[in-house]
Amino acid sequence: MNGISLHDLSSGQKASFAEVSRGLGSPQKELPCKLFYDEVGSQLFEQITGLDEYYPTRAELRIMRAAGADIAGRLGPDCLVLEYGSGSSVKTRILLDHLKRPTGYVPIDISRELLQQSADDLARTYRGLRVFPVWADYTRPLTLPSDLPVGKRRVAYYPGSTIGNFVPEDARRFLAGIAGVCGRDGGLVIGVDLKKDPLMLHRAYNDALGITAAFNLNILTRLNRELGANFVVEQFRHYAFYNPVFARVEMHLVSLSEQVVRVGGVDFQFERGESIWTEASYKYSPQEFAALASSAGWNVQQFWTDDRGLFSVQYLTVVD
């Protein structure tokens, strides 16, 4: 069975050599964190969400279960739901369980396999729900399918605190872009991880089982496969820490030796101890996020948090 057909923007397909060589060629080497999410990486991420130390997913799920009815009530009936980075769509189900007559659901994801699977699963569970999966790298401008149902309003769902992966200026631009996509009367339900004890953050990105390390290192295996690179994975160390100056967790892959790595026919020199910066995960105070949202054309209407104040789900509306 083929399942629902994907709207294929083919940008999520393969690591781009141009992007990778630009990143590895800069003084502080870096790789875009979207490269984590190949098939293996997406599975590793799913494992991360179940780890004892990784509090965000559980906290967000608890908030969604407690506030689901309230959220759906605020969104109102007949809305078209667009989800950025839908992944396994687990949290989406809580939203869909409460939403009144959604006119359609548009999951957008970079991982083809996960997108196909969850789109098919959702369509099977929610009989009558029109699902329009879009396979795309949503960090780039994208053209949505032209045949989307109209409904009363467009609302975006952006859970997981993936907004934290953008540096604040890019986050602002991205949020402003969503405001444009949703248009007048648009809404956004977004998961935002909050500032907290740095040791708790440290543990969340340095789990005892080493799943986060495997997730980080998998990016090198992917480049070996897709760009014919020759990274020796054992020659790199997963290194993650919370930087309170920038309020972000940084993940790096640190070279354990002086070495040369060939990627797509080009040599890249590594000093011993030199890092590739693979991810930033910004944490916000409620006030800071409200200011960021406001600079992007959104008003925070409602803020929900868990009993320990670790994570937040926020409902934003487009400023008119």
Residues of this chain that interact with ligand AVJ (CB under 6 A) are: 48, 56, 160-162, 164-165, 205, 212, 279, 281
* Smaller CB separation from ligand AVJ, 37 or 135: 37
As measured in angstroms, the least distance from the Cβ of 279 to ligand AVJ is: 6
- Note every long-range contact of 63-70, with CB atoms under 8 Å and residues 24 or more positions apart, other chains counting: 63/304, 63/305, 63/306, 63/311, 63/312, 63/313, 64/91, 64/94, 64/95, 64/159, 64/313, 65/94, 66/304, 67/304, 67/313, 68/94, 68/95, 68/97, 68/98, 69/98, 70/302, 70/304
Least CB distance from residue 109 to ligand AVJ, whole Å?
12
CB-nearer residue toward ligand AVJ: 30 or 72: 30
Beta carbon of residue 208, minimum distance to ligand AVJ (angstroms, whole number): 14
Shortest distance (Å) from residue 240 CB to ligand AVJ: 7
Residue number with the smallest Cβ distance to ligand AVJ: 281
CA 85 to CA 89: how far, in whole Å? Answer: 9
Compare residues 48 and 67 and give the one whose CB is closer to ligand AVJ: 48
Nearer to ligand AVJ, 59 or 119 (CB): 59
Write down the H helix ranges in 25-54.
Answer: 39-48
CA separation, residue 173 to residues 68, 166, 193 (Å):
28, 10, 19
Nearest to ligand AVJ of 205, 315 (CB atom): 205
Nearest approach, Cβ of 72 to ligand AVJ (angstroms)? 23
The residue behind tokens 């990778």 is: 20
